[in-house]
Structure formats: structure tokens, C-alpha cells
């Protein structure tokens, strides 16, 4: 049996609104050596009917009658069914640019990469462009990164050092739907940590780095699109307590695995503490007004001004506040 080069794993739960666009973006790739593994995680809407409407023998559909209660176990299960040399996790509300896999294949083959990633374009739920999402400061903070044309190359040691230098800008350094990884490496490090909810991909990339992976980050342009704000993502930001429980785990894991010393560990914990206080205050304010603004135009305007003032101060204090601030404004204006 011929080896498949790319396995695109697409876990979905109640994704009828977006799933068709995601599937069509895979079928329309200029590079065609792929399989698409759709893991329908107990959807109760018309997701099943939508995905079964696609007739392509490279698409495999796995249906669960009941939903796996958490996202990360569903990610892990869908990845375990992949057969390709390289695997990728595509969100059901994300979609590829037509030549994404072709560009990735070219650079993976040329440089023998273990991990390939790049920029993503972020859109709102009405498909209006929002921002380019990636951590430029992270790439620029990697001490041994080497640029070859449109690709930045760096090793695992460089990834870890860049992660530590850029830690205050957030955990997520490479968007999951843009990150292709060698399947044998994914299996070697044990895959996603199913005990985490909010930063499982960040921990996975650190495990890759600790295993000596070779990374490539495509700098030329965005290759993947995703829905960055809106109703679908509201659960991603809450609850704060659970989110920061997971965030505290990352420094602990790094220390346990010998990737950082006590000094770096303490600095990371201090950074998480500061962000926890800021985000806790921000969400308290958000929840205080989230229902009030629905009733009167005056309360809606008041909410907007309060959030604008808070967001401006927050943004100057912590760049990580930007994404949540924009989400607040979007929520308040709808």
C-alpha cells in the first residue's frame, strides 16, 4: 500500500455552519497526496449530513454517537487514526489556502523538517478579515534561527529558548491548524496531553523541541484561515480558573523535564500570576455587563466605553490582553 504523505485530522462537534468550507479547502488543494480523517464527536446538528455529502475516497468519517466530553481527547483520538507520514489538526471552522499543502510539502522535503508551521489569517464569524495571527516576536526571539528565503529554520533548543524569551506574549506560538508534524514524532512523544484543555498544543510543541525536532516556519504569507472570534470561541476564554490551572502546568512540566532551571521557572510563574490577575479582572468586568448591554442602547454605549478604556490600559500592560479585548468589543457590538 502506498504511503500517504499528509493526514488532515478534522474533529468536529456541531460544526454544520463551517465544516463544509473546511472540507472543500482540503479537496481543493493543489497538492493531492492526502487523506482527510473527519471525527464527528457526537454532533447533534446536521454536521453528519454535511460531511456525508462529500464523495471522495480519500475522506474517512468516524462517527461517535455520544460526544467525548472534552476537546483534547477528541483531538488525540482523531490523530490516532491518521496514516500519513505527516499529520495536522484542522479546526472545523478553519480552512486552507489552495496551495498550503504544496508549499508545506516543498519545504518539508527540501529541509527534512519534523514540524512545519506559518502565519494564519483570522476572520470573524461573517468571514470578515480580522488580523494576521502568529507570533512574530517569538520567531525573532529564537537565537539560532536561520532564514532561507521565505522559511525560518530552527532546532528544538532554539524553540525552547525562544519560547522562554517570548513567554509573556502568550503560550501559543504556532497556530494548530497551520502546523504539520511528523507522525512518528507525534507518537514518540505521546501525542496531546489529554489532561490539558487550553494549552495542549503548546505543551506538544515543547515536547517536540525537547526530542530534538527540526522546525520550519513559513514567513512569506498566510497559508491558513480561521475564525478567530465570535460565539464559537466564547468557551475558549472561560472559565479563567481552569485556563490558568493549565497555564501553571506548563512551567512545571518544563522544570520536570529539565528544559528550564529554577530561575526561568520562577520568572514564568511570576508572569502567569500577573496575567491571571489582569484577566480575572477583565472577565469579571465582562460578565458584569454581558447581560446589561442587551437591554438599552445607553447601557450598550456605556459598556463599549468602559471596555475601550480598560482595553487600552490592559493592552499597554499585557499584549496578551489584545485578543480578549477585541473579543469583548465584538461581543458588545452585536
List pLDDT tens digits, range 97-137.
Answer: 999 999 999 999 999 999 999 988 888 777 777 666 556 67
Supply angle C-alpha 307, 312, 318, rounded to 5. Answer: 110
Average pLDDT, the chain: 81
For residue 229, the model assigns a pLDDT of 56
If pLDDT is split at 50, 70 and 90, which confidence band does 262 have?
A: confident
Tell me which of 21 and 130 has the higher pLDDT.
Answer: 21
For residue 1, the model assigns a pLDDT of 53
For residue 310, the model assigns a pLDDT of 56
Q: What is the DSSP string of 25-91?
A: HHHT-S---EEEEEEEES--SSHHHHHTT---TTEEEEEESS--SSHHHHHHHHHHT--SSEEEE--
% of the chain at pLDDT higher than 90: 45
Tell me which of 267 and 97 has the higher pLDDT.
Answer: 97
For residue 140, the model assigns a pLDDT of 82
For residue 320, the model assigns a pLDDT of 46
For residue 333, the model assigns a pLDDT of 43
Asked whether the beta carbons of 142 and 158 are under 8 A apart, the reply is: yes
Per-residue cell: 78: 482523531
If pLDDT is split at 50, 70 and 90, which confidence band does 331 have?
A: very low
List, in sequence order, every residue forming a beta bridge with 36; answer none if it has no partner. Answer: 8, 59
For residue 265, the model assigns a pLDDT of 81
If pLDDT is split at 50, 70 and 90, which confidence band does 321 have?
A: very low
Tell me which of 296 and 234 has the higher pLDDT.
Answer: 296
If pLDDT is split at 50, 70 and 90, which confidence band does 157 have?
A: very high
For residue 44, the model assigns a pLDDT of 92
Q: What is the mean pLDDT of residues 58-70?
A: 83
β 34-41/146-148 pair status: unpaired
For residue 117, the model assigns a pLDDT of 96
Asked whether the beta carbons of 197 and 103 are under 8 A apart, the reply is: no
If pLDDT is split at 50, 70 and 90, which confidence band does 166 have?
A: confident
Is it the case that residue 241 has pLDDT exceeding 50?
A: yes
Is it the case that residue 235 has pLDDT exceeding 50?
A: no
Per-residue cell: 286: 465582562
- What is the topology classification, in CATH, of domain 6-233? Spore Coat Polysaccharide Biosynthesis Protein SpsA; Chain A (3.90.550)
For residue 137, the model assigns a pLDDT of 73
For residue 87, the model assigns a pLDDT of 98
Q: What is the mean pLDDT of residues 60-72?
A: 80
SS3 content of the chain, % helix, strand, coil (to 5): 50, 20, 35
Q: What is the mean pLDDT of residues 72-95?
A: 93
Amino acid at each position: 500500500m502506498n504511503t500517504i504523505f499528509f493526514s488532515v485530522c478534522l474533529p468536529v462537534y456541531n460544526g454544520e455552519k463551517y465544516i463544509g468550507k473546511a472540507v472543500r479547502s482540503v479537496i481543493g488543494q493543489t497538492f493531492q497526496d492526502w487523506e482527510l480523517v473527519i471525527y464527528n464527536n457526537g454532533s447533534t446538528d446536521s454536521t453528519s449530513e454535511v460531511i456525508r455529502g462529500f464523495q471522495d475516497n480519500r475522506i474517512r468519517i468516524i462517527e461517535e454517537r455520544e460526544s467525548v466530553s472534552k476537546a483534547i481527547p477528541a483531538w488525540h483520538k482523531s490523530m490516532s487514526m491518521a496514516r500519513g507520514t505527516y499529520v495536522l489538526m484542522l479546526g472545523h471552522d478553519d480552512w486552507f489556502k489552495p496551495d498550503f499543502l504544496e508549499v508545506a510539502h516543498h519545504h518539508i522535503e527540501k529541509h527534512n523538517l519534523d514540524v512545519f508551521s506559518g502565519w494564519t489569517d483570522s476572520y470573524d464569524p461573517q468571514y470578515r478579515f480580522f488580523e494576521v495571527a502568529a507570533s512574530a516576536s517569538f520567531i525573532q526571539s529564537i537565537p539560532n534561527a536561520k532564514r532561507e528565503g521565505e522559511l525560518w529554520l530552527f532546532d528544538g533548543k532554539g524553540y525552547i529558548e525562544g519560547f522562554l524569551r517570548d513567554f509573556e506574549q502568550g503560550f501559543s506560538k504556532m497556530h494548530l491548524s497551520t502546523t504539520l508534524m511528523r507522525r512518528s514524532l507525534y507518537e514518540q512523544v505521546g501525542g496531546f496531553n489529554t489532561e490539558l484543555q487550553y494549552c495542549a498544543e503548546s505543551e506538544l510543541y515543547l515536547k517536540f523541541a525537547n526530542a530534538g525536532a527540526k522546525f520550519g516556519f513559513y514567513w512569506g504569507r498566510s497559508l491558513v484561515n480561521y475564525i478567530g472570534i465570535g460565539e464559537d470561541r466564547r468557551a475558549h476564554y472561560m472559565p479563567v480558573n481552569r485556563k490558568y490551572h493549565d497555564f501553571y502546568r506548563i512551567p512545571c512540566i518544563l522544570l520536570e523535564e529539565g528544559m528550564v532551571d529554577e530561575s526561568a521557572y520562577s520568572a514564568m510563574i511570576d508572569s502567569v500570576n500577573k496575567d491571571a490577575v489582569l484577566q480575572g479582572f477583565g472577565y469579571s468586568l465582562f460578565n458584569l455587563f454581558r447581560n446589561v448591554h442587551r437591554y438599552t442602547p445607553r447601557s450598550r454605549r456605556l459598556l463599549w466605553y468602559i471596555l475601550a478604556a480598560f482595553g487600552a490600559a490592559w493592552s499597554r500592560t499585557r499584549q496578551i490582553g489584545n485578543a480578549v479585548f477585541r473579543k469583548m468589543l465584538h461581543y458588545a457590538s452585536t
